[in-house]
Homo-oligomer: A and B are copies of this chain.
């Protein structure tokens, strides 16, 4: 049996939503027969992208919605994340220097780097006052 499809999530801008989401994503990954490693990487990428929105996109602590679409079709996983926070283009973020010795390495700044490394394709656009991040990965 072969399964493909598309799921839309609407999340509140609260950190707790990430735990709920990771369980739902495992469910989807199971349906699509992803390996444990593929599932972890998907959850990791989603956590990095969405936690950045939670931490940096909004200046006040107003209630906001984050829109997420997961789609698996033709052996390609597509992720779309939309938020109405301040404009931010992660594809313009320079990579951290991961060759530095421990003493000199910054302890942050790995999130966007990992997204880029784990996905095949990362695209950003600003559309109707929304940040729209599209990620793609060939699976299998």
Which A residues are within 8 Å of any B CB, using their own CB?
1-12, 17, 20-21, 24, 27-28, 30-31, 70
11 interchain pairs (CB within 8 A)? A1-B9, A1-B10, A1-B12, A2-B9, A3-B7, A3-B8, A3-B24, A4-B7, A5-B5, A27-B27, A28-B31
* Given known A-B contacts A28-B31, A30-B27, A31-B28, A11 and B4 have beta carbons under 8 A apart: no
A4 contacts across to B, CB distance below 8 A: 7-8
Contact indicator B28/A1 (Cβ below 8 Å): no
Determine if B31 and A24 form an interchain contact, defined as CB atoms under 8 angstroms apart.
yes
Query: Shortest distance in angstroms between A132's beta carbon and chain B's nearest beta carbon?
Result: 18
Docked Cα-Cα span, A4 to B6, in Å, equals 9
How long is the Cα–Cα vector from A25 to B35 in the complex, in angstroms?
19
Query: In the complex the two chains form, what is the Cα distance from A67 to B10 in whole Å?
Result: 28
A112 CB, nearest partner CB in chain B, Å: 24
Q: A11 to B1: give the CA distance in the assembly, Å.
A: 5
A8 and B70 alpha carbons, distance in the complex (Å): 14
Which of B1, B3, B5, B21 has a CB less than 8 Å from the CB of A1? B21
